[in-house]
A and B are shown apart, each in its own frame.
Chain A
Amino acid sequence: MTAPGDERDPAGGDGGDAALAAEYALGLLPPAEAEVVAARAAADPAFADLVAFWEERLAGLADEVDPVPPPDRVLAGLRRTLFAERDRPWWRKLGIGQALGGALASALLLMLALNQGWLGPTPLPPPAFEAEIAAEDRSLVIAAAYVAEEGALFLDRRVGAALPGRALELWLIPEGAAPVSLGVLPADALVRVPVAPALRPALAGALLAVSDEPPGGSPTGAPTGAVLAAGPVTQL
């Protein structure tokens, strides 16, 4: 029987695509080659099928692995990270393009504000802009919302972190202009980033991006490391 992709194999060769897909699925390729193959899998459905074939079949090997109950602190950590009352469900809604009704959003924002300790005399209004700053492979995902009355962005880092010994720096890239640093992100998942008054009008149509920088941030005022994640700012 002919399996998908066989026709690509060079006659009498070393297995061609099927072997390459297996090596990729196993994570055996050097990083540079793996990147090329990942791009290919994204663009070539037949090749993607081959990778899926291997991922599926090889996962059967996990039958040989005995289950080991993880310690309770893992679930406790997940609850803290994902479900901390202050960042749900308001934050969860960010980045999927859904604005909440005013009253509900205000109530949740109030709670959020109380928890974060930046409360003024009145409840926070709903955000004016939002963005999802995400890596293409979603290894880094940050939800962002801008509350005009606060003059601040609220960020929720949901997936990923700075590399060891490195920092994540947030950039605002106004339409047709150079990136402006909004500062280095602290280790906390949930942060408030003030936006200077002069920059606020530039939010509409801008891009938010996060780059990999040395501790303390870019020494030059422009991104020096790889741009790890980016996303457009959309008006709510």
Chain B
Amino acid sequence: MSSREDIEADLARIALGDRGAFERLYRATSAKLFGVCLRVLDDRAEAEEVLQEVYIQVWAVADRFRPGLASPMTWLITIARNRAVDRRRRRRPTVSATTADGGDLLADFADDAPGPERLAEAGDDRVRLARCLGELAEDRAEAVRRAYLDGETYAELADRFGVPLNTMRTWLRRSLIRLRECLSR
């Protein structure tokens, strides 16, 4: 895996139209972004299409990346996750509601909790995020994870946790506020 500096340097070169830098960035980051797309979409063909869109976007807007504001991986993950969620939202609701569980692909991600090794190699922010999620009740933290990593909607979350939609929204908003308080401490 390339360092943050390597990825930042490649993004700067990509903004100037450097293909070599683009391919290097792709090799260094595509497995992570593909994992993120797969997790949201749970469909290989769709995830491949979205991944391709993600890198086309990266090629087109690399000059918009501002080093120092966000880490380059965060920037890339946000693009991939948001594109995948957009794709998921465009499906017919019946489809997205039934893919939330099961499926072979999901088995690959069954072990969601970061192990001690992962925590050790993650930055301070990541450790803090894990700790702050840990301060939430287990089902509330799970709802935040589902919303981000699986791109679930309020309707899907309400279904999953067996509460009315408005209750789900209140619940999640409160959890996010608590999370923010903890992250800002």
- A83 within 8 Å of B (CB atoms): yes
Please name all residues of chain B whose beta carbon is closer than 8 Å to the beta carbon of A77 when the two chains form the complex: 52
Please name all residues of chain B whose beta carbon is closer than 8 Å to the beta carbon of A65 when the two chains form the complex: 32, 35-36, 39, 109, 149
- A63 within 8 Å of B (CB atoms): yes
The minimal Cβ–Cβ distance linking A228 to chain B, given in whole angstroms, is 15
Given the contacts A67-B32, A159-B60, A78 and B149 also touching, CB distance less than 8 Å: no
Please name all residues of chain A whose beta carbon is closer than 8 Å to the beta carbon of B70 when the two chains form the complex: 52, 55-56
- Closest-by-CB residue of A relative to B47 is A70
* Stretch binding the partner chain, chosen from A22-30, A176-184, A192-200, A219-227: A22-30
Interface residues on A, range: 35 or more
Please name all residues of chain B whose beta carbon is closer than 8 Å to the beta carbon of A23 when the two chains form the complex: 172-173, 176
The minimal Cβ–Cβ distance linking B140 to chain A, given in whole angstroms, is 13
- B9 within 8 Å of A (CB atoms): no
Main secondary structure of the interface of B (DSSP, over half): helix
User: Of B30, B147, B174, which contacts A26 at CB under 8 A?
Assistant: B147
- B139 within 8 Å of A (CB atoms): no
Contact of B129 with A61 in the complex, beta carbons under 8 Å = yes
* Stretch binding the partner chain, chosen from A11-19, A39-47, A107-115: A11-19
Contact of A63 with B78 in the complex, beta carbons under 8 Å = no
- What are the interface flags for B93-118 relative to A under an 8 Å C-beta threshold, 1 for contact and 0 otherwise? 00000000000000011001110001
Main secondary structure of the interface of A (DSSP, over half): helix
The minimal Cβ–Cβ distance linking A143 to chain B, given in whole angstroms, is 10
- Closest-by-CB residue of B relative to A23 is B173
User: Of A27, A52, A66, A75, which contacts B35 at CB under 8 A?
Assistant: A66
Please name all residues of chain A whose beta carbon is closer than 8 Å to the beta carbon of B184 when the two chains form the complex: 1-3
Report the Cα distance A52→B22, complex, angstroms.
Answer: 25
Give the number of chain B interface residues (Cβ < 8 Å). 66
Which residues of A71-93 are within 8 A (CB) of B? 71, 73-75, 77-78, 81-83, 89, 92
- What are the interface flags for B58-100 relative to A under an 8 Å C-beta threshold, 1 for contact and 0 otherwise? 0111000000011101100110011001100100000000000
- What are the interface flags for B113-134 relative to A under an 8 Å C-beta threshold, 1 for contact and 0 otherwise? 1100010001001100110000
Contact of B30 with A19 in the complex, beta carbons under 8 Å = no
Which residues of B36-70 are within 8 A (CB) of A? 36, 38-39, 47-48, 51-53, 55-57, 59-61, 69-70
User: Of B109, B129, B153, B176, which contacts A66 at CB under 8 A?
Assistant: B109
Contact of B78 with A61 in the complex, beta carbons under 8 Å = no
Please name all residues of chain B whose beta carbon is closer than 8 Å to the beta carbon of A54 when the two chains form the complex: 176
- A58 within 8 Å of B (CB atoms): yes
Contact of A69 with B86 in the complex, beta carbons under 8 Å = no
Which residues of A174-233 are within 8 A (CB) of B? none
User: Of A52, A70, A92, A159, which contacts B30 at CB under 8 A?
Assistant: A70
- Closest-by-CB residue of B relative to A92 is B17
- What 6 pairs across the A-B complex have the smallest Cβ distances? A67-B31, A15-B177, A3-B184, A19-B173, A70-B34, A60-B129
Interface residues of B (CB under 8 A from A): 17, 19, 22-23, 26, 30-32, 34-36, 38-39, 47-48, 51-53, 55-57, 59-61, 69-71, 73-74, 77-78, 81-82, 85-86, 89, 108-109, 112-114, 118, 122, 125-126, 129-130, 144-145, 147-149, 151, 153-154, 170, 172-174, 176-177, 179-180, 183-185
The contact sample of 9 A-B pairs, CB cut-off 8 A, is A15-B176, A15-B177, A19-B173, A52-B70, A70-B30, A81-B52, A82-B22, A92-B17, A138-B61
